[in-house]
Amino acid sequence: MTVRLLLARLTTGPAAAPWWRRLTLLMILAVLYLALSPSPPRQMDTGWDKSNHALAFASLMVAGFFGYASSRARLAGLWLALLALGAGIEIAQTYVPNRSGEWQDLLADALGLALGWLLAQGLSWGLRRPPM
């Protein structure tokens, strides 16, 4: 089995979507913990708050893309749901000690979603195209 075939099965095979959905939900729980904890673990920090947001939401988009985005409507729903998650986190952070909600964080979340979508689209396209 080639590496490409293995990757295709892991990402787009019929049995893959439920695993990607589970991973997406686990990642959402992790993001909620890290975002709403008054003092999150420093080991999970890139050193720049906006890159933390972008990386987290790019990861959520990649996992969600392979788990949920089987149609354009579902992909649009995924975008809206993850953006709403980011907005909800920013609102909730205003009530958490040592945290504050910022519009710039939501913008970083949206940028992360776009980057994650581009990465997932590229992977999906690369795995679907015929070998050279």
- For the residues 101-121, what does the mean pLDDT come to? 96
Per-residue pLDDT tens over the stretch 58-88: 999 999 999 988 889 999 999 999 999 999 9
For 4, the enclosing helix (H) or strand (E) is helix 3-12
Per-residue pLDDT tens over the stretch 30-66: 999 999 998 877 766 666 789 999 999 999 999 999 9
CB environment 89-99: b (16+ within 10 A), e (fewer): bbeebeeeeeb
Residue type, 118: L
pTM of the predicted model, to two decimals?
0.86
Distance (Å) of CA 50 to CA 20, 57, 72, 75, 102: 25, 11, 28, 24, 10
DSSP code of 99?
-
Structure tokens at 120: 């997932």
DSSP code of 38?
S
Per-residue pLDDT tens over the stretch 1-41: 577 666 766 777 677 889 999 999 999 999 999 999 988 77
